[in-house]
Structure 1
């Protein structure tokens, strides 16, 4: 079992910083209200928890002839023999995207299904997938 960490560059970092700064700014705008009723901050902190969960829980691994992906609440498995094509360096803007960055991999599998992932090292994941299924078509 080999784990491939997700690439964490791009918009997710700005989203994370913004979701940390916003509750702090709102707290300092009216300290007295938040000191009396601190539970008012909960609606502002709940998106922060979700973003942290996705940020730290996104990874991919190859195990038992399957590519397993996980990104917060998005989880799944793709049987490696069903993978038909991998497109390198493109970004998919619709569909299933358990990824945090651009310029990752679009994996086409089964008949018409596709998924977008973005590991730190695209080439390492591709070479490990090719070891399991040498018939995968690689497109750049």
Structure 2
């Protein structure tokens, strides 16, 4: 079993910083409300918890001839023998996207299925997948 860390560059970092600063700004603008009713801060912290969960729980691994991806609530398995093509250096803006950065890999499998992943090192993941299925077509 080999685990590939997710690439954590780009917009996710700005989203994380913004979600940290927003509750602090709201708290300082209206201190009296939060000292009287501290439970009001909970709706501001909920998105922060979700973003932290996705940020720290995104990874990919190869285990038992399957590529397993996990990103917060997005989880799945792909049979490596069913992978037809990998588009390298692409970014997918819709569909299943358990990734935190751009310029990752679009993995096409089965007949019409595809998933976008963005590991720290695209080439390492591609080479390990090709070792298990040499018929994968790589498109750059």
TM-score, L = length of structure 2: 0.99
Q: Matches of residues 21-100 of structure 1 in structure 2 within 5 Å?
A: 21-100=21-100
In structure 2, the residue corresponding to 1:42 is in which secondary structure? helix
> CA offsets per residue over residues 9-39 of structure 1, 9 Å max, x none?
0000000000000000000001111011110
> CA offsets per residue over residues 39-78 of structure 1, 9 Å max, x none?
0010000000000000000000000000000000000000
Counterpart of 1:104? 104
Q: 5+ unaligned residues in a row in structure 2: which ranges?
A: none
State the superposition RMSD in angstroms. 0.4
Instruction: Return the alpha-carbon distance in structure 2 between the equivalents of residues 33 and 103 of structure 1.
Output: 44
Counterpart of 1:136? 136
> CA offsets per residue over residues 92-113 of structure 1, 9 Å max, x none?
1111000000000000000000
Q: 5+ unaligned residues in a row in structure 1: which ranges?
A: none
Instruction: Return the alpha-carbon distance in structure 2 between the equivalents of residues 33 and 78 of structure 1.
Output: 49
Question: Which stretches of structure 1, 4 residues or longer, exceed 4 Å deviation after superposition?
Answer: none
In structure 1, the residue corresponding to 2:87 is in which secondary structure? strand
